[in-house]
Amino acid sequence: MNTPPLPEGFAVGHWTAPEAPTGCTVILPPPGTRAAVDVRGGGPGTRETEIIGPLSNPEEATAVLFTGGSAHGLAAADGVMSWCEERGRGYATPGGVVPLVPAAVIYDLTAGSERMRPGPEEGRAACEAAVGGVPGRGSLGAARGAAVGKIRGREHASPGGVGYAARTTGAGETVAAIAVVNATGDVIGDDGAVVAGVHDDDGSLLRSVELLAALGGPPTWTETGERQGTTLVCVVTDARLDKPSCAKVARMASAGVARAVDPVFTPFDGDVVFCLSSGDPDPSPWRTIQVGTLAATVVAEAIRDGVNQAA
């Protein structure tokens, strides 16, 4: 099946550290794109997500940033903001445009990136690299230091990655998802089998939920596993959603994370799903159901694609 490209006007760019397992990824939408977010994980690292919350005044996001470096990497959003401001992109105010750049992080410091964290220059570089079409995937950008199935420690985990999937509606609207996969849990296929996750000493795949169920008490995490994980997703569409509809689609799309990651939304994962819509708003509950249903499907597909593309 041919994968549809990003909707017209959207672009995705990556910056990947040349000498460290970290990086950042930016999603640049067309001007005026509505935005919303659904935060499900118990350990999120975010910036400016409240500005696209359901009760906030602005409806748009100028860009969305995914980054490594844990909370340190949020500094890369400064570079995205300055890049956008120089090009007149942002929320109009009497004093000039103010770029609104919601951002979310993964924890990759134990991958060997503790001395190299994305900052403003790296955020700008990701913007400069942004192109339309089908985004670059695999072990690059924000997922360069990603891993999944970290219950027994990173040395027994599988590599994570950037994934992409898209579908079109009967009306010709595109619903696509970009995922950065760095989960504490395993990635599960549509048949319920483990696609990527924790490995036994012989290299065979184990199932994290079975390992957790067999515990007689809390494990000593410093010896048996790594706490920090996260799956970050951005659903992008040219469907005609208003801001409240974007929020509903983001919530529905989180079901796709639950289909593809197990365990999911743990206290140690910062799972976040964004939704961006560029179509002229024409609110309809039936369109919201249609787009949200497709969003959950492509989110699960993008997560599986991320580990399948990982090096």
Polymer length of the chain = 311
Q: How large is the average pLDDT for residues 158-182?
A: 97
Q: How large is the average pLDDT for residues 141-167?
A: 95
Q: How large is the average pLDDT for residues 61-72?
A: 97
Which is nearest to 160 in space by CA: 261, 63, 235, 259? 261
pLDDT at 25 over 50: yes
Q: What contacts 24+ positions apart, CB below 8 Å, involve 81-89?
A: 82/120, 82/124, 83/123, 83/124, 83/127, 83/128, 84/127, 89/31, 89/62, 89/63
Contact assessment for residue 188 and residue 259, using Cβ atoms and an 8 Å cutoff: yes
Lookup: tokens for 165: 């999937």
| pLDDT bracket for residue 222 (50, 70, 90) | very low
pLDDT at 7 over 90: yes
Q: How large is the average pLDDT for residues 177-190?
A: 97
Residue range 227-263, pLDDT digits in tens: 678 999 999 999 999 999 999 999 999 999 999 999 9
Lookup: tokens for 281: 């708003």
What is the pLDDT of the chain when averaged over all its residues? Answer: 94
pLDDT of residue 225: 56
pLDDT at 4 over 90: yes
pLDDT of residue 175: 98
Q: How large is the average pLDDT for residues 69-83?
A: 97
Evaluated on CA atoms 234, 238, 242, 244, the torsion sign reads negative
pLDDT of residue 172: 96
pLDDT of residue 116: 86
Q: At what angle do helices 76-86 and 120-128 cross, to 10 degrees?
A: 50
Q: How large is the average pLDDT for residues 36-45?
A: 95
Which is nearest to 246 in space by CA: 270, 274, 272, 271? 274
Q: How large is the average pLDDT for residues 267-295?
A: 96
Report all structural domains of the chain as residue ranges with CATH numbers, in order of start: 11-309 (3.60.70.12)
Which residues are within 8 A (CB) of 248 and not within 5 positions of it... i.e. 6 or more apart? 288, 292
pLDDT of residue 133: 97
